[in-house]
Chain A
Amino acid sequence: MAIDAATVRKVAHLARIKTPEDRLEPLARELTGILSWIEQLDEVDIEGVEPMTSNVSQPLRLREDVVTDGNKVAEVLSNAPKAADGFFVVPKVVE
Protein backbone atom coordinates (compact mmCIF):
# COMPACT_ATOMS: atom_id res chain seq x y z
CA MET A 1 0.00 0.00 0.00
CA ALA A 2 1.47 3.31 -1.07
CA ILE A 3 0.85 6.42 1.01
CA ASP A 4 1.08 9.73 -0.82
CA ALA A 5 1.99 13.19 0.41
CA ALA A 6 -1.67 14.27 0.51
CA THR A 7 -2.50 11.39 2.89
CA VAL A 8 0.45 12.29 5.12
CA ARG A 9 -0.76 15.89 5.23
CA LYS A 10 -4.24 14.71 6.28
CA VAL A 11 -2.95 12.26 8.90
CA ALA A 12 -0.42 14.73 10.32
CA HIS A 13 -3.31 17.12 10.82
CA LEU A 14 -5.34 14.38 12.56
CA ALA A 15 -2.33 13.87 14.86
CA ARG A 16 -2.05 17.67 15.28
CA ILE A 17 1.61 17.73 14.28
CA LYS A 18 2.75 20.60 12.06
CA THR A 19 4.56 18.99 9.16
CA PRO A 20 6.43 21.22 6.70
CA GLU A 21 5.75 20.61 3.00
CA ASP A 22 9.27 19.33 2.35
CA ARG A 23 8.81 16.60 5.01
CA LEU A 24 5.65 15.15 3.42
CA GLU A 25 7.36 13.11 0.67
CA PRO A 26 10.06 11.57 2.93
CA LEU A 27 7.42 10.73 5.56
CA ALA A 28 5.20 9.22 2.86
CA ARG A 29 8.06 6.92 1.83
CA GLU A 30 8.79 5.91 5.46
CA LEU A 31 5.15 5.20 6.24
CA THR A 32 4.75 3.24 2.99
CA GLY A 33 7.73 1.11 4.00
CA ILE A 34 6.35 0.45 7.48
CA LEU A 35 2.80 -0.26 6.26
CA SER A 36 3.97 -2.64 3.52
CA TRP A 37 5.84 -4.58 6.19
CA ILE A 38 2.68 -4.60 8.32
CA GLU A 39 0.64 -5.92 5.39
CA GLN A 40 1.88 -9.46 6.07
CA LEU A 41 -0.92 -9.57 8.67
CA ASP A 42 -3.23 -10.29 5.72
CA GLU A 43 -1.87 -13.86 5.75
CA VAL A 44 -3.34 -14.61 9.19
CA ASP A 45 -6.66 -16.43 9.40
CA ILE A 46 -8.71 -14.24 11.75
CA GLU A 47 -12.11 -15.65 10.82
CA GLY A 48 -14.31 -15.63 13.92
CA VAL A 49 -11.56 -14.30 16.23
CA GLU A 50 -12.61 -11.72 18.81
CA PRO A 51 -10.41 -8.61 18.96
CA MET A 52 -8.16 -8.67 22.04
CA THR A 53 -8.14 -5.27 23.71
CA SER A 54 -6.74 -6.27 27.09
CA ASN A 55 -4.54 -8.82 28.81
CA VAL A 56 -6.55 -8.63 31.98
CA SER A 57 -9.42 -11.07 32.15
CA GLN A 58 -10.97 -9.61 35.28
CA PRO A 59 -13.79 -7.11 34.75
CA LEU A 60 -12.86 -3.46 35.30
CA ARG A 61 -13.47 -2.48 38.88
CA LEU A 62 -15.89 0.26 39.85
CA ARG A 63 -15.17 2.41 42.84
CA GLU A 64 -17.51 4.34 45.04
CA ASP A 65 -18.50 7.66 43.56
CA VAL A 66 -16.92 9.78 46.28
CA VAL A 67 -14.37 12.57 46.35
CA THR A 68 -10.94 11.15 47.26
CA ASP A 69 -8.69 14.09 46.50
CA GLY A 70 -8.84 17.79 45.82
CA ASN A 71 -8.10 21.36 46.91
CA LYS A 72 -4.78 21.28 45.08
CA VAL A 73 -5.03 24.28 42.81
CA ALA A 74 -1.38 25.22 43.23
CA GLU A 75 -0.19 21.69 42.42
CA VAL A 76 -2.51 21.38 39.44
CA LEU A 77 -1.24 24.67 38.01
CA SER A 78 2.39 24.15 38.94
CA ASN A 79 3.41 22.91 35.48
CA ALA A 80 1.15 25.15 33.41
CA PRO A 81 2.86 27.06 30.57
CA LYS A 82 0.87 30.06 31.81
CA ALA A 83 -1.41 30.53 34.84
CA ALA A 84 -2.96 33.42 36.74
CA ASP A 85 -5.32 33.83 39.69
CA GLY A 86 -5.87 30.09 40.04
CA PHE A 87 -6.66 29.57 36.35
CA PHE A 88 -4.89 28.17 33.31
CA VAL A 89 -4.21 30.97 30.87
CA VAL A 90 -4.75 29.93 27.26
CA PRO A 91 -4.81 31.96 24.04
CA LYS A 92 -8.07 33.51 22.96
CA VAL A 93 -10.03 30.81 21.11
CA VAL A 94 -13.16 32.67 20.04
CA GLU A 95 -12.35 34.17 16.68
Chain B
Amino acid sequence: MTDLTKLTLKAALDGLKARDFSSEEITRAFIANIDAANPKLNAFVVATPARALEMARASDDRLARGEGGALEGAPLGIKDLFCTNGVQTTAGSNMLRGFVPPYESTVTANLWADGAVMLGKLNMDEFAMGSSNETSAFGPVTNPWKSKHSNADLTPGGSSGGSASAVAGDLCLAATASDTGGSIRQPAAFTGTVGIKPTYGRASRFGMVAFASSLDQAGPITKTVEDAAILLRSMCSFDAKDSTSLDVETPDWTQSLGRGVKGLRIGVPREYVVDGMPAEIQALWDQGVQWLKDAGAAIVEISLPHTKYALPAYYIIAPAEASSNLARYDGMRYGHRADHFTSLNDLYEESRAEGFGKEVQRRLTIGAYVLSAGFYDAFYVKALKVRRRIAQDFDDVWDRVDAIVTPSTPSAAFALGDKQIDPVTMYLNDVFTVTANLAGLPGISVPTGLDSGGLPLGLQVIGKALDEATVFQVADALEQAAGFTARPDKWW
Protein backbone atom coordinates (compact mmCIF):
# COMPACT_ATOMS: atom_id res chain seq x y z
CA MET B 1 0.00 0.00 0.00
CA THR B 2 1.21 3.50 -0.80
CA ASP B 3 2.38 5.72 2.04
CA LEU B 4 -0.52 8.12 2.39
CA THR B 5 1.63 10.72 4.14
CA LYS B 6 3.72 11.23 1.01
CA LEU B 7 0.71 12.35 -1.05
CA THR B 8 0.23 15.93 -2.13
CA LEU B 9 -2.80 17.72 -0.74
CA LYS B 10 -4.42 17.51 -4.18
CA ALA B 11 -3.81 13.77 -4.53
CA ALA B 12 -5.08 13.16 -0.99
CA LEU B 13 -8.26 15.15 -1.62
CA ASP B 14 -8.87 13.18 -4.83
CA GLY B 15 -8.27 9.88 -3.01
CA LEU B 16 -10.56 10.83 -0.16
CA LYS B 17 -13.31 11.89 -2.54
CA ALA B 18 -12.96 8.64 -4.53
CA ARG B 19 -13.04 6.75 -1.20
CA ASP B 20 -9.72 5.05 -2.04
CA PHE B 21 -8.88 5.56 1.64
CA SER B 22 -10.63 7.19 4.56
CA SER B 23 -9.79 10.37 6.40
CA GLU B 24 -9.33 8.27 9.52
CA GLU B 25 -6.70 6.14 7.74
CA ILE B 26 -4.64 9.07 6.50
CA THR B 27 -5.06 10.90 9.81
CA ARG B 28 -3.77 7.85 11.72
CA ALA B 29 -0.79 7.67 9.35
CA PHE B 30 0.11 11.28 10.11
CA ILE B 31 -0.37 10.80 13.86
CA ALA B 32 2.09 7.87 13.70
CA ASN B 33 4.58 10.03 11.78
CA ILE B 34 4.27 12.83 14.32
CA ASP B 35 4.80 10.42 17.24
CA ALA B 36 7.91 9.02 15.59
CA ALA B 37 9.43 12.25 14.28
CA ASN B 38 8.55 14.95 16.76
CA PRO B 39 11.18 14.05 19.39
CA LYS B 40 13.78 14.83 16.69
CA LEU B 41 12.16 17.55 14.58
CA ASN B 42 10.23 19.36 17.36
CA ALA B 43 7.82 20.70 14.73
CA PHE B 44 4.66 20.31 16.82
CA VAL B 45 4.21 22.14 20.13
CA VAL B 46 0.89 20.42 20.76
CA ALA B 47 -0.45 17.39 18.90
CA THR B 48 -4.20 16.88 19.01
CA PRO B 49 -4.70 13.25 17.92
CA ALA B 50 -8.06 12.77 19.67
CA ARG B 51 -9.54 15.87 18.08
CA ALA B 52 -7.99 14.91 14.73
CA LEU B 53 -9.62 11.46 14.76
CA GLU B 54 -12.97 12.92 15.76
CA MET B 55 -12.79 15.44 12.91
CA ALA B 56 -11.63 12.70 10.51
CA ARG B 57 -14.59 10.45 11.35
CA ALA B 58 -17.00 13.35 10.85
CA SER B 59 -15.36 13.96 7.46
CA ASP B 60 -15.69 10.28 6.56
CA ASP B 61 -19.42 10.47 7.35
CA ARG B 62 -19.81 13.47 5.06
CA LEU B 63 -17.72 11.87 2.31
CA ALA B 64 -19.81 8.69 2.57
CA ARG B 65 -22.90 10.79 1.90
CA GLY B 66 -21.20 12.35 -1.12
CA GLU B 67 -20.90 15.64 0.72
CA GLY B 68 -17.92 17.58 1.94
CA GLY B 69 -16.00 20.81 1.51
CA ALA B 70 -12.94 21.77 -0.49
CA LEU B 71 -10.56 20.30 2.12
CA GLU B 72 -12.77 17.48 3.34
CA GLY B 73 -10.81 15.00 5.44
CA ALA B 74 -7.37 16.55 4.83
CA PRO B 75 -5.10 16.52 7.93
CA LEU B 76 -3.32 19.87 8.36
CA GLY B 77 -0.91 21.47 10.83
CA ILE B 78 -1.66 24.91 12.28
CA LYS B 79 1.01 27.46 13.17
CA ASP B 80 0.73 28.20 16.87
CA LEU B 81 -0.28 31.82 16.40
CA PHE B 82 -3.71 31.01 15.02
CA CYS B 83 -6.13 30.91 17.96
CA THR B 84 -7.85 27.53 18.12
CA ASN B 85 -10.86 27.19 20.36
CA GLY B 86 -10.03 24.93 23.30
CA VAL B 87 -6.47 24.17 22.17
CA GLN B 88 -3.43 25.92 23.66
CA THR B 89 -2.13 28.80 21.54
CA THR B 90 1.19 30.33 22.59
CA ALA B 91 2.85 32.01 19.59
CA GLY B 92 5.97 30.21 20.80
CA SER B 93 6.14 32.29 23.98
CA ASN B 94 6.28 31.56 27.70
CA MET B 95 4.10 34.63 28.04
CA LEU B 96 1.20 32.59 26.62
CA ARG B 97 2.15 29.14 27.95
CA GLY B 98 -1.13 27.50 28.95
CA PHE B 99 -3.29 30.09 27.13
CA VAL B 100 -6.38 28.34 25.75
CA PRO B 101 -8.42 30.61 23.47
CA PRO B 102 -12.19 30.46 23.91
CA TYR B 103 -12.58 31.45 20.25
CA GLU B 104 -11.34 30.49 16.78
CA SER B 105 -9.28 32.53 14.31
CA THR B 106 -11.11 33.30 11.06
CA VAL B 107 -8.45 31.52 8.97
CA THR B 108 -8.75 28.25 10.90
CA ALA B 109 -12.54 28.55 11.11
CA ASN B 110 -12.53 28.73 7.29
CA LEU B 111 -10.45 25.54 7.12
CA TRP B 112 -12.74 23.59 9.46
CA ALA B 113 -15.78 24.84 7.53
CA ASP B 114 -14.16 23.34 4.41
CA GLY B 115 -13.71 19.99 6.19
CA ALA B 116 -10.01 20.06 7.15
CA VAL B 117 -8.71 17.99 10.08
CA MET B 118 -6.42 19.55 12.71
CA LEU B 119 -3.36 17.49 13.67
CA GLY B 120 -2.02 20.05 16.14
CA LYS B 121 -0.17 23.31 16.64
CA LEU B 122 3.17 24.02 15.02
CA ASN B 123 6.29 25.45 16.60
CA MET B 124 7.48 28.93 15.60
CA ASP B 125 9.81 31.74 16.60
CA GLU B 126 8.46 33.59 19.63
CA PHE B 127 5.74 36.00 18.47
CA ALA B 128 7.04 35.29 14.93
CA MET B 129 10.22 37.25 15.67
CA GLY B 130 13.04 35.25 14.15
CA SER B 131 14.42 33.65 11.00
CA SER B 132 15.64 30.31 12.37
CA ASN B 133 12.96 29.13 14.83
CA GLU B 134 15.57 29.40 17.58
CA THR B 135 13.68 32.05 19.56
CA SER B 136 10.80 29.67 20.39
CA ALA B 137 10.17 29.04 24.08
CA PHE B 138 9.65 25.40 23.07
CA GLY B 139 13.13 25.00 21.57
CA PRO B 140 14.27 25.13 17.95
CA VAL B 141 12.72 23.10 15.14
CA THR B 142 15.06 20.91 13.12
CA ASN B 143 15.05 20.83 9.33
CA PRO B 144 14.40 17.34 7.86
CA TRP B 145 17.11 18.16 5.29
CA LYS B 146 20.80 17.61 6.03
CA SER B 147 23.81 18.71 4.01
CA LYS B 148 25.90 16.05 2.29
CA HIS B 149 28.95 17.76 3.79
CA SER B 150 27.95 17.64 7.45
CA ASN B 151 25.69 15.86 9.91
CA ALA B 152 24.85 19.12 11.71
CA ASP B 153 21.21 19.84 12.51
CA LEU B 154 19.98 22.63 10.23
CA THR B 155 17.39 25.31 10.81
CA PRO B 156 14.13 25.05 8.84
CA GLY B 157 14.09 28.86 8.83
CA GLY B 158 11.58 31.02 10.62
CA SER B 159 9.36 32.16 11.90
CA SER B 160 7.13 29.40 10.41
CA GLY B 161 9.82 26.76 11.02
CA GLY B 162 7.43 24.20 12.48
CA SER B 163 5.09 24.54 9.50
CA ALA B 164 7.92 24.08 6.98
CA SER B 165 9.57 21.19 8.82
CA ALA B 166 6.24 19.38 9.30
CA VAL B 167 5.35 19.63 5.60
CA ALA B 168 8.83 18.64 4.41
CA GLY B 169 8.97 15.75 6.91
CA ASP B 170 5.50 14.36 5.96
CA LEU B 171 3.98 15.16 9.35
CA CYS B 172 0.98 16.85 7.74
CA LEU B 173 -0.41 17.30 4.21
CA ALA B 174 0.05 21.06 4.38
CA ALA B 175 0.23 23.76 7.03
CA THR B 176 -0.87 27.28 7.81
CA ALA B 177 1.85 29.86 8.36
CA SER B 178 2.23 33.62 8.58
CA ASP B 179 4.63 36.13 7.07
CA THR B 180 5.63 39.54 8.45
CA GLY B 181 9.05 39.92 6.77
CA GLY B 182 9.51 36.57 5.05
CA SER B 183 8.32 34.05 7.63
CA ILE B 184 6.47 31.88 5.09
CA ARG B 185 8.79 32.19 2.09
CA GLN B 186 12.18 31.79 3.81
CA PRO B 187 11.24 28.55 5.66
CA ALA B 188 9.65 27.22 2.46
CA ALA B 189 12.89 27.90 0.57
CA PHE B 190 14.96 26.20 3.32
CA THR B 191 12.85 23.02 3.25
CA GLY B 192 12.07 22.45 -0.44
CA THR B 193 8.42 23.39 0.04
CA VAL B 194 6.13 26.02 -1.49
CA GLY B 195 4.99 29.03 0.55
CA ILE B 196 2.87 31.99 -0.48
CA LYS B 197 2.14 35.25 1.31
CA PRO B 198 -0.94 36.70 -0.37
CA THR B 199 -1.76 40.39 -0.84
CA TYR B 200 -2.12 42.16 2.50
CA GLY B 201 -5.80 42.02 3.44
CA ARG B 202 -6.67 38.77 1.59
CA ALA B 203 -6.59 36.63 4.73
CA SER B 204 -8.19 37.82 7.93
CA ARG B 205 -5.93 38.64 10.87
CA PHE B 206 -8.76 38.04 13.35
CA GLY B 207 -7.56 35.54 15.94
CA MET B 208 -3.93 35.63 14.80
CA VAL B 209 -1.57 36.61 17.62
CA ALA B 210 -0.35 40.02 16.43
CA PHE B 211 3.29 40.93 15.75
CA ALA B 212 3.30 43.91 13.34
CA SER B 213 -0.25 44.49 12.19
CA SER B 214 0.45 46.47 9.01
CA LEU B 215 2.72 43.65 7.76
CA ASP B 216 1.34 40.37 9.19
CA GLN B 217 -0.38 38.14 6.65
CA ALA B 218 -1.39 34.47 6.74
CA GLY B 219 -0.63 31.96 3.99
CA PRO B 220 0.04 28.25 3.43
CA ILE B 221 3.18 26.09 3.27
CA THR B 222 2.61 23.10 0.98
CA LYS B 223 4.36 20.47 -1.13
CA THR B 224 3.35 21.90 -4.52
CA VAL B 225 2.18 25.11 -6.17
CA GLU B 226 -1.20 23.49 -6.85
CA ASP B 227 -1.56 22.60 -3.15
CA ALA B 228 -0.77 26.22 -2.26
CA ALA B 229 -3.48 27.43 -4.65
CA ILE B 230 -6.01 25.07 -3.04
CA LEU B 231 -5.18 25.84 0.59
CA LEU B 232 -4.79 29.60 0.14
CA ARG B 233 -8.27 29.78 -1.34
CA SER B 234 -9.77 28.19 1.75
CA MET B 235 -7.78 30.46 4.10
CA CYS B 236 -8.83 33.75 2.47
CA SER B 237 -12.12 35.53 3.03
CA PHE B 238 -13.56 38.95 3.65
CA ASP B 239 -13.99 39.37 7.39
CA ALA B 240 -15.78 42.22 9.10
CA LYS B 241 -13.80 41.36 12.26
CA ASP B 242 -10.55 42.59 10.65
CA SER B 243 -10.66 46.29 9.74
CA THR B 244 -7.99 45.83 7.05
CA SER B 245 -9.68 42.81 5.43
CA LEU B 246 -10.31 43.39 1.73
CA ASP B 247 -13.88 42.99 0.50
CA VAL B 248 -12.92 41.14 -2.69
CA GLU B 249 -13.69 37.82 -4.37
CA THR B 250 -11.35 34.93 -3.61
CA PRO B 251 -10.65 33.37 -7.03
CA ASP B 252 -10.02 29.71 -7.81
CA TRP B 253 -6.28 29.97 -8.32
CA THR B 254 -5.96 26.42 -9.65
CA GLN B 255 -7.34 27.95 -12.87
CA SER B 256 -4.02 29.79 -13.26
CA LEU B 257 -2.02 26.57 -13.44
CA GLY B 258 -0.84 24.90 -16.64
CA ARG B 259 -1.25 28.05 -18.69
CA GLY B 260 2.45 28.66 -19.31
CA VAL B 261 4.07 32.07 -19.36
CA LYS B 262 4.08 32.80 -23.09
CA GLY B 263 3.73 36.54 -23.58
CA LEU B 264 4.14 37.39 -19.89
CA ARG B 265 6.68 40.08 -19.01
CA ILE B 266 8.97 39.02 -16.18
CA GLY B 267 10.97 41.64 -14.29
CA VAL B 268 14.47 40.92 -13.00
CA PRO B 269 15.48 43.61 -10.49
CA ARG B 270 19.19 44.42 -10.62
CA GLU B 271 19.22 45.59 -6.97
CA TYR B 272 18.56 42.04 -5.78
CA VAL B 273 22.15 41.15 -6.59
CA VAL B 274 23.51 41.64 -3.07
CA ASP B 275 27.06 41.74 -1.72
CA GLY B 276 28.41 38.36 -0.78
CA MET B 277 25.57 36.44 -2.45
CA PRO B 278 26.77 32.88 -3.15
CA ALA B 279 27.42 32.03 -6.81
CA GLU B 280 24.94 29.16 -6.45
CA ILE B 281 22.12 31.59 -5.70
CA GLN B 282 23.00 33.71 -8.74
CA ALA B 283 23.15 30.56 -10.89
CA LEU B 284 19.74 29.41 -9.57
CA TRP B 285 18.26 32.79 -10.41
CA ASP B 286 19.82 32.87 -13.91
CA GLN B 287 18.49 29.35 -14.53
CA GLY B 288 14.98 30.34 -13.45
CA VAL B 289 15.00 33.37 -15.72
CA GLN B 290 16.25 31.20 -18.61
CA TRP B 291 13.43 28.67 -18.06
CA LEU B 292 10.84 31.42 -18.22
CA LYS B 293 12.48 32.87 -21.35
CA ASP B 294 12.50 29.41 -22.98
CA ALA B 295 8.80 29.12 -22.14
CA GLY B 296 8.08 32.30 -24.08
CA ALA B 297 8.17 35.01 -21.42
CA ALA B 298 9.76 38.37 -22.15
CA ILE B 299 12.53 39.13 -19.65
CA VAL B 300 12.77 42.77 -18.61
CA GLU B 301 15.60 44.15 -16.53
CA ILE B 302 14.12 46.52 -13.97
CA SER B 303 15.31 48.75 -11.17
CA LEU B 304 13.80 48.86 -7.68
CA PRO B 305 16.20 51.52 -6.38
CA HIS B 306 15.20 51.57 -2.71
CA THR B 307 15.54 47.80 -2.15
CA LYS B 308 18.57 48.07 0.14
CA TYR B 309 16.64 50.30 2.52
CA ALA B 310 13.77 47.85 3.01
CA LEU B 311 15.33 45.84 5.84
CA PRO B 312 16.49 48.84 7.90
CA ALA B 313 13.03 50.43 7.47
CA TYR B 314 11.43 47.13 8.48
CA TYR B 315 13.55 46.99 11.65
CA ILE B 316 12.02 50.28 12.73
CA ILE B 317 8.42 49.69 11.63
CA ALA B 318 8.01 46.08 12.83
CA PRO B 319 9.49 46.64 16.32
CA ALA B 320 7.47 49.86 16.67
CA GLU B 321 4.23 48.04 15.88
CA ALA B 322 5.26 45.12 18.09
CA SER B 323 5.99 47.46 20.97
CA SER B 324 2.44 48.78 20.67
CA ASN B 325 0.79 45.37 20.06
CA LEU B 326 2.60 43.54 22.83
CA ALA B 327 1.77 46.23 25.39
CA ARG B 328 -1.35 44.10 26.01
CA TYR B 329 0.75 41.54 27.90
CA ASP B 330 0.55 43.17 31.30
CA GLY B 331 -0.02 40.05 33.41
CA MET B 332 -3.53 41.10 34.41
CA ARG B 333 -6.19 39.50 32.21
CA TYR B 334 -4.26 36.68 30.57
CA GLY B 335 -0.67 35.67 30.01
CA HIS B 336 2.12 35.26 32.52
CA ARG B 337 2.03 37.09 35.86
CA ALA B 338 5.16 37.22 38.04
CA ASP B 339 4.86 35.84 41.58
CA HIS B 340 7.17 38.35 43.23
CA PHE B 341 6.93 42.12 42.86
CA THR B 342 7.16 45.29 44.91
CA SER B 343 4.72 47.62 43.11
CA LEU B 344 2.29 47.69 40.23
CA ASN B 345 4.97 48.91 37.86
CA ASP B 346 7.34 46.27 39.14
CA LEU B 347 4.69 43.63 38.46
CA TYR B 348 4.44 44.72 34.81
CA GLU B 349 8.21 44.77 34.42
CA GLU B 350 8.82 41.43 36.15
CA SER B 351 5.99 39.67 34.30
CA ARG B 352 7.27 40.86 30.92
CA ALA B 353 10.92 40.11 31.75
CA GLU B 354 9.95 36.56 32.76
CA GLY B 355 7.43 35.97 29.97
CA PHE B 356 9.30 37.35 26.94
CA GLY B 357 12.47 35.79 25.52
CA LYS B 358 15.62 37.64 24.59
CA GLU B 359 14.83 38.49 20.94
CA VAL B 360 11.33 39.72 21.78
CA GLN B 361 12.76 41.89 24.56
CA ARG B 362 15.35 43.24 22.14
CA ARG B 363 12.72 44.19 19.55
CA LEU B 364 10.34 45.69 22.10
CA THR B 365 13.22 47.81 23.38
CA ILE B 366 14.04 49.00 19.85
CA GLY B 367 10.34 49.71 19.29
CA ALA B 368 10.04 51.76 22.47
CA TYR B 369 13.19 53.66 21.50
CA VAL B 370 12.13 54.60 17.96
CA LEU B 371 8.71 55.70 19.21
CA SER B 372 10.04 57.68 22.17
CA ALA B 373 9.88 61.46 22.42
CA GLY B 374 12.65 63.07 20.39
CA PHE B 375 13.21 60.02 18.14
CA TYR B 376 9.75 59.46 16.70
CA ASP B 377 10.27 61.67 13.64
CA ALA B 378 13.93 60.78 13.15
CA PHE B 379 13.26 57.04 13.13
CA TYR B 380 9.61 56.02 12.90
CA VAL B 381 8.22 58.67 10.56
CA LYS B 382 11.33 58.49 8.39
CA ALA B 383 10.91 54.71 8.07
CA LEU B 384 7.28 55.18 7.01
CA LYS B 385 8.43 57.59 4.27
CA VAL B 386 11.07 55.14 3.08
CA ARG B 387 8.34 52.48 3.08
CA ARG B 388 6.37 54.58 0.59
CA ARG B 389 9.49 54.92 -1.59
CA ILE B 390 9.77 51.12 -1.62
CA ALA B 391 6.10 50.69 -2.52
CA GLN B 392 6.48 53.33 -5.27
CA ASP B 393 9.44 51.41 -6.72
CA PHE B 394 7.02 48.57 -7.46
CA ASP B 395 4.25 50.88 -8.71
CA ASP B 396 6.74 52.35 -11.17
CA VAL B 397 7.46 49.01 -12.88
CA TRP B 398 4.01 47.40 -13.10
CA ASP B 399 3.31 49.06 -16.48
CA ARG B 400 6.32 47.19 -17.89
CA VAL B 401 6.21 43.82 -16.13
CA ASP B 402 3.53 41.34 -15.01
CA ALA B 403 5.59 39.68 -12.27
CA ILE B 404 9.06 39.83 -10.74
CA VAL B 405 11.42 36.90 -10.16
CA THR B 406 14.15 36.93 -7.50
CA PRO B 407 15.91 34.43 -5.24
CA SER B 408 13.90 33.67 -2.06
CA THR B 409 16.87 33.72 0.30
CA PRO B 410 20.54 34.72 0.14
CA SER B 411 21.65 31.20 1.18
CA ALA B 412 20.49 27.64 1.82
CA ALA B 413 19.52 26.50 5.32
CA PHE B 414 22.28 27.09 7.87
CA ALA B 415 23.18 25.11 10.98
CA LEU B 416 21.29 25.76 14.20
CA GLY B 417 23.36 28.14 16.34
CA ASP B 418 25.30 29.51 13.36
CA LYS B 419 23.91 33.04 13.15
CA GLN B 420 23.31 33.84 16.78
CA ILE B 421 26.42 35.97 17.21
CA ASP B 422 24.96 39.11 15.72
CA PRO B 423 21.28 40.09 15.33
CA VAL B 424 21.86 42.00 12.07
CA THR B 425 23.39 38.91 10.40
CA MET B 426 20.20 37.02 11.25
CA TYR B 427 18.00 39.89 10.01
CA LEU B 428 19.69 39.77 6.56
CA ASN B 429 17.92 36.45 5.85
CA ASP B 430 14.85 38.44 4.87
CA VAL B 431 16.62 40.74 2.40
CA PHE B 432 14.66 39.45 -0.64
CA THR B 433 11.29 38.86 1.03
CA VAL B 434 10.70 41.92 3.19
CA THR B 435 9.95 44.31 0.31
CA ALA B 436 6.71 42.46 -0.49
CA ASN B 437 5.55 42.89 3.12
CA LEU B 438 6.30 46.61 3.16
CA ALA B 439 4.47 47.08 -0.16
CA GLY B 440 1.65 44.61 0.68
CA LEU B 441 2.27 42.50 -2.44
CA PRO B 442 1.81 38.74 -2.97
CA GLY B 443 5.00 36.68 -3.02
CA ILE B 444 5.59 32.95 -3.39
CA SER B 445 8.68 30.77 -2.90
CA VAL B 446 9.09 27.72 -5.14
CA PRO B 447 11.86 25.11 -4.78
CA THR B 448 13.82 25.02 -8.04
CA GLY B 449 17.21 23.54 -7.23
CA LEU B 450 19.76 22.14 -4.79
CA ASP B 451 23.04 23.62 -3.63
CA SER B 452 26.34 21.71 -3.69
CA GLY B 453 25.45 20.17 -0.32
CA GLY B 454 22.16 18.86 -1.70
CA LEU B 455 20.07 21.45 0.19
CA PRO B 456 17.00 23.00 -1.43
CA LEU B 457 17.00 26.55 -2.81
CA GLY B 458 13.97 28.58 -3.83
CA LEU B 459 12.98 31.31 -6.24
CA GLN B 460 10.48 34.00 -5.35
CA VAL B 461 7.77 35.41 -7.62
CA ILE B 462 6.30 38.78 -6.60
CA GLY B 463 3.13 40.08 -8.23
CA LYS B 464 0.84 43.09 -8.28
CA ALA B 465 -1.59 43.60 -5.41
CA LEU B 466 -4.48 41.10 -5.72
CA ASP B 467 -2.84 39.44 -8.72
CA GLU B 468 -2.02 36.10 -7.09
CA ALA B 469 -3.30 34.57 -10.34
CA THR B 470 -0.18 35.67 -12.25
CA VAL B 471 2.05 34.76 -9.30
CA PHE B 472 0.66 31.20 -9.37
CA GLN B 473 0.95 31.08 -13.16
CA VAL B 474 4.67 31.95 -13.07
CA ALA B 475 5.35 29.76 -10.01
CA ASP B 476 3.71 26.82 -11.78
CA ALA B 477 5.93 27.36 -14.85
CA LEU B 478 9.04 27.43 -12.65
CA GLU B 479 7.91 24.28 -10.82
CA GLN B 480 7.29 22.46 -14.11
CA ALA B 481 10.63 23.52 -15.59
CA ALA B 482 12.59 22.69 -12.44
CA GLY B 483 10.97 19.28 -11.99
CA PHE B 484 12.03 19.47 -8.34
CA THR B 485 11.48 15.99 -6.89
CA ALA B 486 14.26 15.79 -4.26
CA ARG B 487 13.16 14.77 -0.78
CA PRO B 488 15.12 14.69 2.48
CA ASP B 489 16.54 11.30 3.49
CA LYS B 490 14.72 10.06 6.54
CA TRP B 491 17.15 10.16 9.50
CA TRP B 492 14.68 10.88 12.29
Residues of chain A whose beta carbon lies under 8 Å from any beta carbon of chain B: 3, 7-8, 11-19, 27, 30-31, 33-35, 37-41, 43-44, 46, 49-56, 58, 60-61, 63, 72, 75-76, 78-82, 88, 90-91, 93, 95
Contacts and interface: CB of A to CB of B under 8 A. Distances in A.
Contacts of B365: 8, 11-12, 15, 17, 27, 31
Contact of B315 (A13, A34, A49): A34
Given A16-B352, A38-B315, A41-B313, A95 B423 contact: no
B388 A80 contact: no
Contact of A46 (B201, B323, B331, B385): B385
A15 B240 contact: no
A16 B348 contact: yes
Counting from the closest, the 6 A-B pairs by CB-CB distance are A55-B440, A51-B384, A75-B102, A81-B337, A79-B334, A52-B388
A47 B101 CA distance: 46
B382 A46 contact: yes
A61 B240 contact: yes
Given A15-B364, A16-B345, A40-B312, A33 B423 contact: yes
Contacts of B101: 79
A29 B332 CA distance: 33
Contacts of B337: 81-82
Contacts of B102: 72, 75-76, 78-79
A7 B370 CA distance: 12
A56 B240 contact: no
Nearest to B347: A91
A68 B365 CA distance: 37
Given A16-B349, A55-B439, A91 B383 contact: no
Nearest to B391: A52
Contacts of A63: 240
Given A30-B423, A88-B332, A11 B372 contact: yes
Contact of B333 (A30, A31, A52, A80): A80
Contacts of B423: 30, 33-34
A13 B343 CA distance: 14
Contacts of B369: 3, 7, 11, 14, 31, 35
Contacts of A16: 327, 330, 345, 348-349, 352
A38 B135 CA distance: 22
15 contacts: A7-B369, A11-B369, A16-B352, A17-B361, A30-B423, A38-B316, A44-B309, A49-B389, A52-B384, A55-B201, A61-B240, A79-B100, A81-B331, A91-B344, A91-B347
Nearest to A57: B465
A80 B461 CA distance: 44
Contacts of A17: 349, 352-353, 356, 361, 364-365
A66 B247 CA distance: 21
Nearest to B360: A17
A78 B99 CA distance: 9
B246 interface: yes
Given A38-B315, A55-B200, A18 B214 contact: no
Interface of B is mostly: helix
Given A18-B350, A19-B361, 7 more contacts: A11-B368, A15-B323, A41-B316, A41-B386, A50-B385, A56-B201, A81-B331
B341 interface: yes
Given A17-B361, A80-B333, A91-B341, A33 B348 contact: no
Q: Considering residues A3, A56, A80, A88, which has the most beta carbons from chain B within 10 angstroms of its beta carbon?
A: A56
Contacts of B201: 55-56
Contacts of B440: 55-56
Contact of A49 (B240, B388, B422): B388
A10 to B, nearest CB: 8
Given A49-B388, A53-B384, A34 B366 contact: yes
Contacts of A76: 102, 333
A76 to B, nearest CB: 8
Nearest to A91: B347
A5 to B, nearest CB: 13
B367 A15 contact: yes
A16 B323 CA distance: 10
Contacts of B465: 55
Nearest to A42: B382
Contacts of B274: none
B443 to A, nearest CB: 13
Nearest to A7: B369
B415 interface: no
Interface string B213-247: 01000000000000000000000000010011011
